[in-house]
Structure 1
Amino acid sequence: MTVEPTFDDLFGECRRSALHLEMRDDYGTSSPGFVAWRDGFPFDRDHFDAPWVTLVSGAVARGVTVRRARIVSEPVSDYIRYEHSATPYANLAGGEWVRWLPRRLASGLSLPGNDFWLFDERLIRFGYFSGDGEPTGHELCDDPAVVKLCLTAFEAVWERSVDHAEYRPT
């Protein structure tokens, strides 16, 4: 019986690149970070998503390039406003590069149906979510045609998107 690698395993085995494409406007309003932000608690670098920062910074230290592109509707949802506020603490602090693409600028792009992580241009981890943004599962895929679709989609979004430092949610 083959044991599926955990998400941490996938990052640990990654050697060159980890690409993440997010296309939802809501990822579950029950997350502790969102609830705390919504209730007015400030972000704390030592406690806010510290395990994520540690995981990503370890990969970056090994020479892995970690890029995240987010396609967002405007005006942005409260959840996207939260993500934008958290990005310096939860993403940039670990060494990720983050860019934002307003959805109206994505109309001419061919995109997969689900968010994904693409590791070393060889393995995809699709993430599945309910209508209200709660995670419902994931699937690994190494089909070369699907890998090519996801890589092409990610690069097209990256090319059109705006760096986090320049993006102002509306």
Structure 2
Amino acid sequence: MARNPRIDELLRGCAHSAVHLEMRDGYMRSDPMFVAWQQGQHPDPDDRDAWWDSWWQLTADIVASGVQMQRARVVSEPISDYIRFEYDVTFMNIAAGEAVRWLPRRRASDLALPGNDFWVFDGHTVMINHFSGDGEGAGQEFSTDPALIKLCESAFQTVWERAVPHAEYHPS
């Protein structure tokens, strides 16, 4: 049985682009960083040593190699506590070189979107992320099916064009 690739392997294999669409209002509420944030421990953008880790270094390395990394988030407004947390820590994504945009869900009603969050790597591999009802990770699914990749790329591009860049988004 073939082993599924890890996301870091897929990112390191990119030559041009890695796009990520997120559509849930809450994820892994057991995440220690989210729990700490709920308790008032908010990362300081100026204290990079406190929050820069291997993920941010990988992102920075991938972007420095010429890969365009983009993340779009479709969110309900007013935003949930978890999305507020994501918004508050998005400075990390930006510092690592990732472009992030936000699309209020009310502006997505006429869009045909896949049923799950996903990544598309260089237009040749899609990684579908599955989550339980309470937002905990429930596995991934990988595909090189051209029809699925086309659907995901089209959905991402449509959201990206309509979404608000992070610096301009001020959630309610």
Query: Is TM (by shorter chain) over 0.5?
Result: yes
Kindly report which structure 2 residues correspond to 1:6-155, keeping only aligned pairs within 5 A, or say none.
Answer: 6-44=6-44, 45-48=48-51, 50-89=53-92, 91-155=93-157
Tell me the alpha carbon deviations over residues 36-69 of structure 1, each in whole angstroms, 9 at most, x when there is no partner.
1111112043232522211111101110000000
TM-score of the two chains, using structure 1 as the length reference: 0.96
Using structure 2 for the length normalisation, give the TM-score.
0.95
Q: Which runs of 5+ in 1 are unaligned?
A: none
Distance 1:43 1:147 in 2: 35
> Which residue identity does 1:38 align to in structure 2?
Q
2:41 aligned partner, one-letter code: F
Q: Tell me the distance in 1 between the aligned counterparts of 2:76 and 2:10.
A: 30
1:156 to 155, 158, 161: 158
Give deviations 1:44-102, integer Å, cap 9, x for gaps: 4323252221111110111000000000000000000000000002x111100000000
Q: Distance in 2 between matches of 1:16 and 1:167?
A: 26
Q: Aligned residues, how many?
A: 169
RMSD: 1.0
Q: Secondary structure at the match of 1:128?
A: strand
Counterpart CA distance in 2 for 1:21 and 1:60 is 18
Query: Which segment drifts farther, 45-54 or 144-153?
Result: 45-54
- 1:33·1:48 contact (CA, 8 Å) conserved in 2? no
